């Protein structure tokens, strides 16, 4: 069983809320679909009958984009911050209602993005609505890399609409999540996770019917995808592999895509390390990516992070640029989680 612990800032958190969060499939509905996330427990306090959880991150990254040589690249310096807020209260019938908010601001691009959702949680599971298009993906995906590692293409191209709704529930060691939007697109995922002896195993699968906007910014592909992930944890080390298939259709164009990704992570004292790689083909043309990541924990919530990420996929069919990605970059940052 997975337990989550929360920091108190001086006000008591109700035992009912704590007990519910400890064993629930979606103890705190996270709308953070970005790679920048907090490793700290959220602050917890009460407002009337509601329990409020607050957490966030401030990150100062320096990114070097490499062209032909490491000496001929572009350097970007920025400041990125995000905030997670979850409010939940229990009704007289023991149902729980709640709302979640996530906001992220990138100073360099003067860009603010946010997600919001509301939910009802019962003993039979949770009904969720809002910007929940990434919930299935986040529940089923391979584990994110350490530091500033980010493995490209390790997902379907297709996406459902931001505004959507669905259901999530836990049945013993199995968690199932299903999301659908108003256009008939959907995602469904299930995972099994259980320790066996001194090891932990996780197996997950996901299917999707969605839409992909091609690199030309005009052409929309209808997509159908299926994938699976396997994970093995022993001690402080994790090993996982994922594979998937996706079909893309737009008028007379019909493309098949397959891919496989794998990686490993380990923690040595205050040092976290990760490495991952990806290879796939879209209609016979290759796509590839790789990532290396390092995180060094300085103090509670404060860390330095480093990552090297490479991706390449330049594929066109019938005069349409389906995907156009070619970049190698190195990013170092100082990060504070609260």
Mean pLDDT calculated for residue range 248-269:
97
Mean pLDDT calculated for residue range 71-86:
83
Question: What pLDDT score does 68 carry?
Answer: 53
* Residue of 202 and 16 predicted with greater confidence: 202
Check whether 175 has a pLDDT greater than 80: yes
Segments making up each domain of the chain, as ranges: 7-337
Percent of the chain with pLDDT over 90: 77
Residue pLDDT, tens place only, 328-338:
999 999 999 98
Place of tokens 């298939």: 245
Mean pLDDT calculated for residue range 90-104:
94
Residue pLDDT, tens place only, 128-168:
999 999 999 999 999 999 999 999 999 999 999 999 999 99
Mean pLDDT calculated for residue range 281-288:
97
Check whether 106 has a pLDDT greater than 80: yes
Residue pLDDT, tens place only, 3-42:
233 333 333 333 233 222 333 334 567 888 877 777 677 8
Question: What pLDDT score does 64 carry?
Answer: 87
Lowest-pLDDT range of 34-38, 41-45, 108-112, 277-281: 34-38
Which two tokens mark 153?
A: 């293409």
- Decide yes or no: CATH 3.40.50.620 for domain 7-337: no
Mean pLDDT calculated for residue range 76-99:
93
Mean pLDDT of the residues in the chain: 88
Question: What pLDDT score does 181 carry?
Answer: 96
């Amino acid at each position: 069983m997975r337990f989550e612990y929360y920091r108190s800032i001086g006000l008591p958190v109700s035992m009912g809320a704590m007990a519910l969060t400890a064993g629930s499939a979606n103890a705190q509905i996270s709308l953070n679909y970005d790679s920048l996330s907090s490793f700290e427990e959220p602050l917890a306090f009460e407002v009337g009958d509601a329990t409020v959880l607050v957490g966030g991150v401030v990150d100062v990254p320096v990114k070097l984009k490499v062209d032909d040589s490491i000496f001929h690249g572009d350097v970007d310096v920025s400041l990125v911050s995000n905030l997670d807020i979850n409010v939940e209260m229990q009704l007289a019938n023991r149902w729980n209602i709640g709302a979640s908010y996530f906001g992220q601001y990138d100073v360099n691009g003067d860009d603010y993005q946010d997600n919001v959702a509301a939910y009802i949680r019962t003993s039979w599971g949770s009904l969720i609505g809002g910007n929940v298009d990434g919930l299935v993906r986040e529940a089923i995906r391979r584990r994110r890399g350490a530091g500033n590692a980010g493995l490209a293409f390790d997902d379907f191209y297709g996406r459902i609409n931001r505004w959507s709704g669905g259901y999530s529930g836990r049945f013993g060691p199995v968690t199932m999540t299903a999301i659908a939007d108003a256009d008939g697109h959907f995602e469904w995922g299930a995972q099994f996770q259980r320790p066996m002896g001194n090891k932990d195993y996780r197996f997950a699968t996901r299917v999707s019917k969605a839409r992909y906007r091609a690199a030309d910014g005009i052409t929309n592909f209808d997509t159908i995808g299926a994938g699976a992930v396997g994970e093995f944890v022993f001690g402080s080390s994790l090993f996982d592999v994922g594979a998937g298939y996706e079909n893309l259709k737009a008028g007379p164009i019909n493309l098949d895509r397959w891919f496989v990704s794998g990686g490993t992570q380990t923690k040595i004292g205050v040092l976290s390390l990760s490495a991952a790689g990806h290879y796939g083909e879209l209609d016979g043309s290759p796509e590839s990516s790789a990532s290396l990541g390092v995180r060094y924990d300085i103090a509670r919530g404060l860390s330095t992070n480093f990552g090297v990420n490479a991706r390449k996929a330049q594929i066109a069919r019938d005069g349409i640029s389906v995907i156009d990605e070619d970049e190698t970059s190195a990013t170092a940052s100082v990060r504070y989680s609260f």
